[in-house]
Amino acid sequence: MGFIDSALDTTLAGYTKFGISLRAVDVDEAFPEVAGRHVMVTGATGGIGKAVAQRLASYGAIVHAVGRTPAKLDDLVDTTEGTIVPHVADLSSIEAIVRLADSFVASGEPLHGLVNNVGIMIHERTVTDEGYEITYATNLLGQYVLTKKLLLVLEASAPSRIVMVSSGGMYSQPLTVSNLQSSEGDYNGTNAYARTKRAEVVLTEEWAKELAGTGVTITSMHPGWVDTAGVRDSLPTFRRLTGPFLRDEAQGADTIVWLVAADEAADESGTFFHDRSVRPTHRMNKTKEQPGLRERFMEHMASDAAPWLEPSALES
């Protein structure tokens, strides 16, 4: 299996449904150790997020499912075997994220897992009412603020885990600071998405250093090529060409569930996974960071998030 896994890791076939099948990953494996643990899943009403929420709930986890559409959250509750606690929030709005986090903290509930799954890809540059490019707001800044706001609860509930759902698209883009909001040149939605996914991986690696010794681990992962509504809407040509090879949502969700729930994943932190194994974060030299860039990136993110992390953020 080691040879097959290594061979698949060097080809695009590894991202398909054949990759996960040849690696003999058991997407029906149960993880009873997660029973009774509280896990928040963002983007939980469809696609990979819904599959994650339903699988964790089926093992007895109390899943705090975040979505922006009440009817879809109601449907998730009605169609899930297990406990789903719905939370309505538009995760492109940092104010809504602050309200979500503050409400959760005020509830006094523990939090043993946070799955930052929500993500968007659009093909026309859009700025939110708060002044952020929407891909950056949803895929990166919002996740930064949510995680920071929930860290004290995660630490108090330790051992706990954070999973950042990245994408293979991140292999195409280097880390940037100046163009995180895709303000330079012509807007390319695919590249804007990939830049945020690269940034999520770097954030994972840097936060892992800060969280060492707290009992909170953080990992990032690539779910493979998955046949979701998001792919069908945002990448129709890609979907038309690769449709027969795409994974289903349960296959895409598997490594996320494993990272949240499995005993063997308990000590992992700061690493990037695909199909339950650590993978390289660069495939090309041109995506590797120059000295000092990571520090500038972390300073930039802290600066953008700072107004939203103040106790009076919603009073201004």
Q: Give the global pTM.
A: 0.96
Confidence of residue 229 (pLDDT cuts 50, 70, 90): confident
Architecture of the domain made up of 22-62+75-85+92-309: 3-Layer(aba) Sandwich (3.40)
Q: Looking at the annotation, which residues are catalytic? A: 193
Contact 224, 275 (CB under 8 A): yes
Residue range 273-311, pLDDT digits in tens: 999 999 999 999 999 999 999 999 999 999 999 999 998
What are the sequence ranges of the domains in the chain?
A: 22-62+75-85+92-309
Residue range 132-185, pLDDT digits in tens: 999 999 999 999 999 999 999 999 999 999 999 999 999 999 999 999 999 999
Q: What is the pLDDT of residue 315?
A: 63
